[in-house]
Amino acid sequence: MNETENVHNKTLSQTQGVKVSQHNILINTPFRLGILENRIYTLMLTTIDSMNDVDFKETFIPLKQIISYNASKAAYNAIEAACDKLHTLRLNLKSVEDPDVIFDKLHVFSRMKLIKGKGIIGWFDPQIKPYLLQLKGNFTSSQIEELLNLKSPHAHKMYWLLNSYNSKYQAYGRQPEVLTVEQIRELLLEDVGKYKKYGEFKKFILSPAYEELKGTQLEFEYDELKTGKVISHIKFRFSSKSKSKSGTKLLPAPLTQTSLSFDQTLKEPNKEEPIKASSKKNLSHDKVSDNAIRIMRDKYEFSDADIDYFINQLPAVTITRANKWLQENQASLNISNKSDWFKSHLNNKITNKGK
């Protein structure tokens, strides 16, 4: 039995019911992951017992928990790129023990391996242990299923942040959390230079994340606070009935096939049913699909993960028509970043699909 098969036997059953926890220092450190990187990272977290484990172990995530069995070349490229991003991820983390440390860059993963047809083997870096293992206080636990079902990287990061703030509110009755717009921009985007106009930041980042999180058990509202005439701060308010989990309680829901699928069209098809046209999209592309992929890649510089996501969520003709509409109307839209605008536009079409 090789190392992959050996580790594989210890995976899925052990992830059921396990809480997903991180130290609040790690949660409140600015870094941005794509939706696929977030998915892999979350699945890696499910293999850790943050309260009792002393050391990290070799971790295996089956391919079927990340994407479909019939993964396309683009899907493998996207997973490889995600693994590379996670492997090179270095964070400047405040010290758990020494508050005087002002710079300390640490790797999150020491090694990542992708095996075709099987999955990912990963190793957390030992230096990150204080932020993921032996957590005794100042940490937050989040719902696995809710994290895996989030479609936006901004919603994913915001979920962790607000869950940590909500934990303080529920435990200690703390006042609502108030952050500057620059703080939120840095936490969600890792770059205070992006979306400097608050209107654009709200339209493309804050509001979509808020709308997506309304579908979770995290109940919150936010208020815009002004300094003079400029919106300078955001106040987050939490409901006393919020059901989000924190502290040392176990997550109540086991992983399900639905929650594990990257998206509904990439789920392994039921062998008793005929394969629908939408589930074939990752196996072959017609000319319209090829054109949609070319548009997203060449015109808007989408990542492979984004391309694979949108081509499986929307009809290719919807993507090409959206591009044509933008070309005809962009002069009247005052768009500062076409790539982000087009991505937000496609996400809106996914959200409104079937309504």
What pLDDT does residue 219 have? 81
What pLDDT does residue 18 have? 54
Where residue 166 sits, what CATH number does that domain have? 1.10.10.10
Name the least confident of 132-136, 174-178, 253-257, 273-277.
253-257
User: Last residue of some domain: 110, 137, 164?
Assistant: 137
How far apart, in Å, are the Cα atoms of 177 and each of 117, 141, 184, 201, 236?
45, 18, 12, 19, 5
Q: Dig out the tokens for 320 from the structure.
A: 């090409």
198-237 confidence digits (pLDDT tens): 999 999 999 999 999 988 888 889 999 999 999 999 999 8
Indicate if 48 and 130 belong to the same structural domain. Answer: yes
Query: Mean pLDDT across the stretch 48-77?
Result: 87
Residue 70, Cβ density class (10 Å: 0-12 exposed, 13-18 middle, ≥19 buried): middle
Indicate if 242 and 262 belong to the same structural domain. Answer: no
Bigger pLDDT: 353 vs 333: 333
Indicate if 125 and 41 belong to the same structural domain. Answer: yes
Query: Mean pLDDT across the stretch 325-345?
Result: 87
User: Last residue of some domain: 137, 164, 187?
Assistant: 137
Asked if residue 281 has pLDDT above 60, the reply is: no
Indicate if 216 and 267 belong to the same structural domain. Answer: no
Query: Mean pLDDT across the stretch 54-59?
Result: 95
User: Last residue of some domain: 94, 119, 137?
Assistant: 137
Asked if residue 348 has pLDDT above 90, the reply is: no
What is the pLDDT confidence band of residue 287, given thresholds at 50, 70 and 90?
confident
Bigger pLDDT: 284 vs 177: 177
Indicate if 132 and 23 belong to the same structural domain. Answer: yes
Indicate if 28 and 126 belong to the same structural domain. Answer: yes
- The secondary structure of residue 48, as a DSSP letter, is -
Asked if residue 176 has pLDDT above 60, the reply is: yes
Indicate if 285 and 333 belong to the same structural domain. Answer: yes
Asked if residue 173 has pLDDT above 80, the reply is: no
Integer Cα distance of 78 and 184 in angstroms: 28
Indicate if 163 and 89 belong to the same structural domain. Answer: no
What pLDDT does residue 218 have? 85
Phi, psi (5° rounding) for residue 247?
A: 70, -135
Integer Cα distance of 304 and 299 in angstroms: 14
Indicate if 110 and 152 belong to the same structural domain. Answer: no
Asked if residue 44 has pLDDT above 70, the reply is: yes
Bigger pLDDT: 95 vs 9: 95
110-143 confidence digits (pLDDT tens): 999 999 999 999 999 999 999 999 998 889 999 8
What pLDDT does residue 103 have? 92
Domain count, the chain: 3
What pLDDT does residue 68 have? 62
Q: What is the DSSP string of 246-307?
A: -TTPPPS----HHHHSSSGGGSPPPTTSPPPGGGGTTT---HHHHHHHHIIIIIS---HHHH
Query: Mean pLDDT across the stretch 47-52?
Result: 91
Give the range of the structural domain holding residue 236, as residue numbers without chain letter. 145-252
Handedness of CA 262, 266, 270, 273 (dihedral sign): positive
Indicate if 6 and 128 belong to the same structural domain. Answer: yes
When computed from its CA atoms, the radius of gyration of the chain, rounded to whole angstroms, is 21
Instruction: Indicate the average pLDDT of the chain.
Output: 80
148 by DSSP, 3-state: which? helix
Indicate if 132 and 164 belong to the same structural domain. Answer: no
Asked if residue 317 has pLDDT above 80, the reply is: yes
Indicate if 280 and 326 belong to the same structural domain. Answer: yes
Bigger pLDDT: 249 vs 299: 299
Bigger pLDDT: 354 vs 325: 325
Bigger pLDDT: 119 vs 351: 119
